[in-house]
Amino acid sequence: MLKGSCLCKDIEFQFPNAEGDYVYCHCLSCRKASGAAFGANISVPIETFEILKGEASLKVFESSPGKMRHFCNRCGSPLFTLVGRNPAFARVRLGSIDSEFLQLPAAHIFMSQKALWDNPEVEIPSFTEWPEIDTVSIRGSHQPIT
Ligand SMILES: [Zn+2]
Ligand SMILES: [Zn+2]
C-alpha cells in the first residue's frame, strides 16, 4: 500500500497503486492550486482509494463545474481532486505521498502557460540540502548562516 497525508497529518489515505502516466502540468490552474511551478498528480482507481483518517477535516473547493478539489481545512494541503459525478479515478497530488513512489514523470505539459520565472529546460545547480549562503541566498528561510 502507498500512503499519503497532509502536512499536519490530520488526514491520511492509502491506495495500492496508480494507473497510467503522470506529468508535470505547468498550466495556470495547476500553479494556483499547488502554489508551485507545476502540478504533479497521479491517477488512482477510485474504488481502491481509501481515506484512513481525518475525513471530517477534508474541505472541498469546486474550481470549475464538477471539479472537486479536496484539501485539509487545518493545514491547507491540497490532497486530491475528483472530476464529475462518478469519477473512475482520484487525481492524487504526488507531493502528499509518504511512501516510496518510483515512477518517473512522462512529460511536461501546458508549457504554453508556464510562468516566466519557470524554465525546466535550463539546467540549474542542485544541492543535497541547503547550499552555502554565499552560493545561493534564500532570504527568510531556515537556511543556516555559516
Ligand atoms: Zn492537514
Ligand atoms: Zn494543469
Query: Are 10 and 54 spatial neighbours (Cβ–Cβ below 8 Å)?
Result: yes
Would you say residue 127 lies in a domain?
no
The reported pLDDT for the residue numbered 3 is 98
CA distances from residue 130 to 4, 7, 37, 141, 146 in whole angstroms, order as listed = 25, 21, 20, 10, 11
10 Cα: distance to centroid of ligand 2 (angstroms): 27
End-to-end CA distance of the chain: 42
Cα 69 to averaged position of ligand 2 atoms, centre (Å): 13
Instruction: Decide if pLDDT at 131 tops 90.
Output: yes
What is the edge-to-edge ordering of all strands in the sheet holding 78-83?
58-64, 67-72, 78-83, 89-93, 39-45, 23-25, 107-109
Distance 6 CA to ligand 1 centre (A): 4
How many separate domains does the chain show?
1
51 Cα to the center of ligand 2, angstroms: 24
- CATH at 13: 2.170.150.70
134 in a structural domain = no
Residue with cell 492524487: 92
Q: Please give all residues whose CB falls under 5 A of ion ligand 2, grouped by chain where several chains appear.
A: 25, 27, 30
Spacing, Cα 71 to ligand 1 middle (Å): 8
Write down the pTM of the prediction. Answer: 0.93
| For residues 102-122, average pLDDT | 95
pLDDT tier, 145 (very low <50, low <70, confident <90, very high otherwise)? confident
pLDDT over 90 percentage in the chain? 96
Distance from residue 66's CA to the centre of ligand 2 (Å):
16
DSSP state, 101?
Answer: -
Domain that includes residue 31, residue range: 2-113
Q: Which ligand is nearest to the CA of 28?
A: 2
Residue 100 forms part of a structural domain = yes
Is a pLDDT exceeding 80 seen at residue 144? Answer: yes
Is 119 within a domain?
no
Give per-residue pLDDT as tens, 41-99.
Answer: 999 999 999 999 999 999 999 999 999 999 999 999 999 999 999 999 999 999 999 99
pLDDT on residue 15: 98
Ligand minimally distant from the alpha carbon of residue 91:
2
